[in-house]
Structure formats: structure tokens, C-alpha cells
Structure 1
Amino acid sequence: MARRLRVGVIGTGAMGADHIRTLHRWVPAARVVAVQDLDVDRAKQLAADVGADVAESADDLIDAGTVDALIIASPDPTHAPLARAAIAAGLPVLCEKPLGTDPQESRSVVDAEVAADRRLVTVGFMRRFDPGYLRLKDAIAAGRVGVPRLVHNVHRNRVGHPSATTEGIVVNSMIHELDVVPWLLDSPIVQIEVTSPVAEGFRDPQLAVLRHANGALSTVEVFIEAAYGYDVRCEVVGTAGTAALVPPAVVTHATGGVAGTEVPADFRPRFADAYRLELGAWANSVLDGSPVGPTAWDGHRATVIAAAGVASLHEGRAVPVPDEPRPSLYG
């Protein structure tokens, strides 16, 4: 039998639990052998479902020598410290976004990886594995829209997390677009302006205007209390036409005098394929020793852009995105 990757998962909330179930059901190259969470009862239930052990602490899981790789799906402030611990232990890690809560934290992960002279961190920007986004990128690269001039993005949630903050809308939600749009256009963001129609308190929704190095502009609407459901859209407008994401296959209903489609309550139905493909590619890349997917550098740069976006929101002006030389480890 071919070797299977022994995976430890830190964090068994909605994201971690989904990763555990996806690995167990859809990724034959890996098996979850250990989980850890401060909610021990929840961790025990998930562990029992997949035949894994429960570690007493994150440090115990990392240092036990019983896992080959690690998934970090714990709360945001733990991401950078746990990623650095995984690097120190020589463990490949898939870390959920954001890589750090600020640029200093995310840069510390980059610096640790550069010091180790080995790429060990993949950041969970799963949209890069989504079939729709991949086809959209192919259409742009093939010149089907001509020269891209505008990209319009919509990112709506039915309801925000109870801990959601004004700044977190940028750092935790908009950060997906801050990663995927430069990837789509193959052009970095050099300026960001974020505003909101809500002047005080919890400032939701928010609208960002991004300027890219190639001159293109992108808009990003994020509305995490949109009430009706989870909705993500992207349209690229070019000199020869447009290309846009359309919803995956859905079932239409006509009942009670209303005809239409159901809108999912959260991200999982929309991006189920993306997560499955992301986890499969990551597991196989660890076994092969050939890293794939968004790097620690990608995660850091998204955090840098998000920090500039938060500054823009508070200062009421467009903010340049600081430039940094890319370490040679990242090509």
C-alpha cells in the first residue's frame, strides 16, 4: 500500500471540522490521525468519527512525532505562532487565512521559513483551486477578454460571526479577494481604498477600490450581514469582452407563487470542490516533496494589503500598498 500522509488538525470549529471530514472522505492520500481543540468534547466527537486521537494541546500534537503534516484551523491570532512552531518542527502545514493578524505576524512566518530554507507553509486561499476561478484565469490568460481593465467582486455572507469587527471584514473576509484578484490578473495591488456607507459602529457593508500595477482597477463589495445567504461573484471586463463566474449547478424550484434557486447559508456548498481539490493537492504535494498553492509570501502580502485597507477605512483616503522585495525562496 502506498504511504498515506498522517495529518494532525488544530482547531475543530466549522472550518477544521469541514477539513477533517473532507480529508476522511475525499483524500485517499491522507488520514487524520490526531486533532486538538480547546473544546475537548467537540474534538473527541470528531476524532471518534474518523478514528483519530485527541491531543491535549497544540504543542503536544506538533511535538509528538506522530504526524507528518499539520492543518491549522484554530482562531486567527494563533495562526502565526502555530505556523512558526510547525516550521521549527519541520512539519509541512496548511494554515487557514489570514496567515497573521497584522503584517509583522505574517512576516515572522516568512522569516522563519526563509531561515529554514524550505517551503513548508501553504495558506488556505482555496479559491485558487476552485474550478470556476481556474476557468476564469484561463480565459484571461488566453486573451478572451482582451486586456483586462476592470474586475468586479461581490462577497456576501448571510450572517457574520459573533466576534466580527469592522477591521475583520477586511482582514478576514475581503482578504480572499485581496489574494485571488492579483492572482487572476497576474498583477499586484499597489493601492487600496476602502469605504462604507455606515459611518459609525460596525461598518458593514464595505466597498474597496483596488489599483493594480498594470493599471487595471478592481472593486470588492463585502457584506457579511447580507441576510439572504452566501453569494460570491466575479466579473472581469476587458477590451474585447467580459468573463464572469456563474453559480455552480443548482436546482430551481417553483412553489408557493415563487420561482428561483436556493441560496446557500454559508461558504461550504459553494466551495466544497475547491476545498476538496485544495486538500488533495496539498496532501499529494507533501508526499511528493513539491509544494503547491499559495505560499507564506502570498499570505503575508495579502495581510500587508489588508492592513493598508484598514488604514484606508479609518483615514478616509486611498492608501499605497508598501512594496517589499520577494525572498528568493519564493521564486
Structure 2
Amino acid sequence: MSDLLGVAVLGAGHMGADHIRRLDRVVSGARVAAVADPDVERAKRAVAGIPGARVHAEAEAALDAPGVEAVLIASPGPAHEEALLAAFARGLPVLCEKPMVPGSRGALRIVEAEVRLGRRLAQIGFMRRYDAEYGRLKAVLDEGRLGRPLMLHCVHRNVSSPPDFTSAMLIDSSVAHEIDAARWLLGEELTAVTVVRPRSSGRAPEGLLDPQFVLFETAGGALVDVEVFVNCGFGYQVRCEAVCEAGSARIGEGHGMLVTSAGGAREEVAQDYLVRFADAYDREVQAWVEAVRRGRVTGPSAWDGYAASAVAEAGVRAQESGVRTTVDLAPRPALYA
């Protein structure tokens, strides 16, 4: 391995461009060796000023570019399965943004392919595990001094939804983060999901059922509720409260600057997930680079990516049917024990 880990970034959109910047300016021990995006001009803009970064229209060309030793996938979700399998075929370690693969069948194919390899190559981009507040909450729950967790109350709000955002995407795109966070915080699989909703907000585009209320049940008998509201209009907010037998712990209350003037006070509210979780993304990519340079892959696994897709899929069915829906998970391979 070279002195700097050569990374191919697949996708130069909003998320991909931010990762390109992060690898070039923030993370130590890595460099951008290649970028692939069907919009070549967008890719060129993303790597402007980065010496030695090659631009390609096709993902496989970037994987085969000189100096590429690892892959960061930030392309749209439907392209992830092909990119992951191509990286596996080349023995390249991967950091793949969520969703690993949008559907559970495709996600299971990734798990099965990695099991055939006999070693982990994929880390999935559930960056909340690297957020300082989530880390403290996880530590408190693992210590056990608050007793067993009984409930998690979660809030996930966005200023507005992007064009073509669908009602199903509130579950399989937005709530996917809460799905993984709940599994990680509680150490339990989610086994059933119910989705109910109030009247839609007047801010929601026509046809979008927003907000929604999602209730998960866990294998150990805990409950997880999520308010997801992607057109709240005022800011990006993520909160989580764990209610345990002997106390509770809450995160996500304040991240912006508090401005006091003219007899009043105003607290800034983040407008974007790249602002709220900037430090978590930095920690995530730095940890991935350091692990790969040691010949390891750690962090959220392909199994975590599959489980999130399977739970989200059940959530979309619950959304459509209006009834409680069970989650169907395949047996967990020993590779992910």
C-alpha cells in the first residue's frame, strides 16, 4: 500500500463532492486517486485543484485507474449493488453510503457475495455511529446504570424534501438512519413496524404524505418511535431519547450558536445534514481509512446494510397497508457474528 491510500470516489453529486473535499482536505492518510460520474463535467469541478485525480464517466474505469486501493461509493442507491460487486471482484475495500442496496433481495446478494469471499470488504455509511452525542448515548446504555432500555423516542426533520421525493422515501431513505441507530444502540434486531400519519403538512408537495409516525418493535421487547417530517420548513433536526428502567438520556438538543441581542435570544438551527453531522462524517471516513491501511474493515457491516434495507422494506409495506408488518430477516452468517 502506498504512503497515501488511493481512493476512487464513485459519484460527484452533493454527497460525493463533500467526500472528495473531505478526503483531500480533512482526512489524513488518503488521497483522491479517481472519480467516476456520468456527468463528467461535474466530476471535473469536484476534483478541481486536486493533483493526480483522474476523472471517468464509468465506475469500473475508476476502479481500474492507477493507484486505486479502496473505493468510496456515493452514487445513487440503485447503482450500489453493481459497484459493490465490482469492488469485491477486485478485492478492494469499500465505504458505501447508505442505502447499501435499496431492496432487501439485492442487499442479501451483497451479504452472500461477501460471505463467499470469506472476509469483510464493505463498511456501510451509517455515520451516526461516529457522532459524538450518539457515541455518548451508546456508552451510557452499554454501562447499564440506567437499567434496561424500554423505549427510544426519535425525531428526524428536514427543511424540505428534494424533487421527486416519495412517501416511501420517508421510510427507506430518511428513517433508514434511525433503523440502524436503534439496532446499534439497543443491540437488538427490529422485528415489526407500524406506520401511522397525521394530516399532511401544507408545506408538503402534492401527493407526499408528510409527516409520518413510525413505530418499531425489537426482538427484546423495546419500542422505538420516529417522527419523520421532511418539509418542516425551519431546519434540520435529529433527536433521540432513550427511556430506561432507572432513568433517561436525550441527545440532539442544541448544535447551533445562541445569539442574544435587543432583549431577545435566537438559536441557530442547522439547515443540512452535512452541517449537523459534519464531524461524524469526518470521523467515519478517517476511521475507515485508518482501518483499511491496517488491512482491516470495521464499522457497520454489509449485514447492517441488509438489515436496514429489510426493515425499511417492511416499513414501506406497513405504510401502504396501514397495518403492523413483521420484518423477515435471513439467518445471520457467522462472518457477521
TM-score by length of 1: 0.96
The CA distance in 2 between the partners of 1:112 and 1:239, in whole Å, is: 41
How far has the Cα of 1:2 moved from its partner? 7.3
C-alpha distance in structure 2 between counterparts of 1:282 and 1:60, whole Å: 23
* 2:310 pairs with 1:309: no
- Corresponding position of 2:159: 158
For residues 27-47 of structure 1, the C-alpha deviation after alignment (integer angstroms, 9 at most, x for no partner) is 111111111112222211121
Judge conservation of contact 1:145–1:241 (CA < 8 Å) in 2: yes
User: What does residue range 51-62 of structure 1 map to in structure 2 within 5 Å?
Assistant: 51=51, 52-62=53-63
User: Mind listing any 5+ residue stretches in structure 2 that lack a counterpart?
Assistant: 201-205
C-alpha distance in 2 between matches for 1:258 and 1:97: 41
Paired position in structure 2 for 1:26: 26
Instruction: Tell me the equivalent position of 2:97.
Output: 96
- AA of the residue aligned to 1:225: N
Equivalent residue, structure 2, for 1:4 = 4
In the other structure, the counterpart of 2:203 is none
Partner of 1:193: helix, strand, or coil? strand
User: Is residue 141 of structure 1 aligned with residue 147 of structure 2?
Assistant: no
Q: Counterparts of 1:16 and 1:58 in 2: how far apart (Å)?
A: 13
179, 201, 218: which is aligned to 1:212? 218
Question: Structure 1's 165 and 58: CA in aligned 2 closer, same or farther, altered over 3 A?
Answer: same
Q: Give the conservation status (yes or no) of the 8 Å contact 1:248–1:270.
A: no
Residues 179 and 302 in structure 1, CA contact (< 8 A), matched pair in contact too: yes
1:194-230 deviation line (CA, Å, top 9, x unaligned): 1222479211111111111111111011111111010
Q: Which moved more, 1:56-65 or 1:292-301?
A: 56-65
How big is the shift at 1:116? 1.6
Secondary structure at the aligned position of 2:318 is classed as helix
> CA shift at 1:66, angstroms?
2.9
Q: What is the deviation of 1:189?
A: 0.7
Q: Give the distance between the partners of 1:257 and 1:313, measured in 2 at CA.
A: 46
Distance 1:298 1:258 in 2: 46
State the Cα distance separating 1:269 from its structure 2 match: 1.6
Q: Secondary structure at the match of 1:234?
A: strand
- Distance between the aligned counterparts of 1:80 and 1:316, measured in 2? 30
Most deviating of 42-51 and 217-226: 42-51
Q: What CA deviation, in whole Å up to 9, does each residue of 1:60-106 have, x standing for no partner?
A: 11123530001110111101111111111111111110011211111
Identity of aligned residues (%): 44
- Aligned mates of 2:277, 2:100 — CA distance in 1: 20
Q: Paired residue for 2:128?
A: 127
Residue 234 (str. 1) matches residue 240 (str. 2): yes
Query: Quick one: distance in 1 between partners of 2:57 and 2:255?
Result: 42
Residue 255 of structure 1, CA deviation: 4.3
1:256-288 Cα deviation digits (max 9, x unpaired): 665221111111121111101100010111111
More moved, 130-139 vs 54-63: 54-63
- Contact conserved, 1:130 with 1:273, CA < 8 A, in 2? yes
In 2, distance between residues paired with 1:253 and 1:70? 42
> Are the equivalent residues in 1 in contact too, given 2:237–2:252 (CA < 8 A)?
no
1:250 corresponds to which of 248, 256, 261: 256
- Pairs aligned (count): 331
1:321 to 323, 327, 330: 327
Structure 1 segments unaligned to the other structure (5+ residues): none
After superposition, the C-alpha distances for 1:140-174 in whole angstroms (9 at most, x for unaligned) are: 11123221111000000001111211111111110
Q: Deviations over 1:304-323 (max 9, x none)?
A: 00000000011111111113
> Is 2:318–2:325's contact at 8 Å kept on the other side of the alignment?
yes
The CA RMSD over aligned residues, in Å, is 1.7
Q: 2:301 aligns with which of 275, 295, 300?
A: 295
Match of 1:284 among 262, 286, 290: 290
More displaced, 234-243 or 18-27?
18-27
Secondary structure at the aligned position of 2:31 is classed as strand
Partner amino acid for 1:35? Answer: V
Q: Cα–Cα, structure 1 residues 314 and 25, in superposed 2: closer, same or farther, change >3 Å?
A: same
Q: Is the 8 A contact 1:11 1:37 kept in 2?
A: yes
Q: Which amino acid aligns with 1:34?
A: A
User: Counterpart amino acid of 1:50?
Assistant: I
User: How far, CA to CA, are the matches of 1:258 and 1:111 in structure 2?
Assistant: 58
For 1:207 and 1:50, the matched residues in 2 are separated by 44
**Distance in 2 separating the partners of 1:236 and 1:223:** 20
Report the Cα offset of residue 134 of structure 1.
0.6
TM-score (norm 2): 0.94
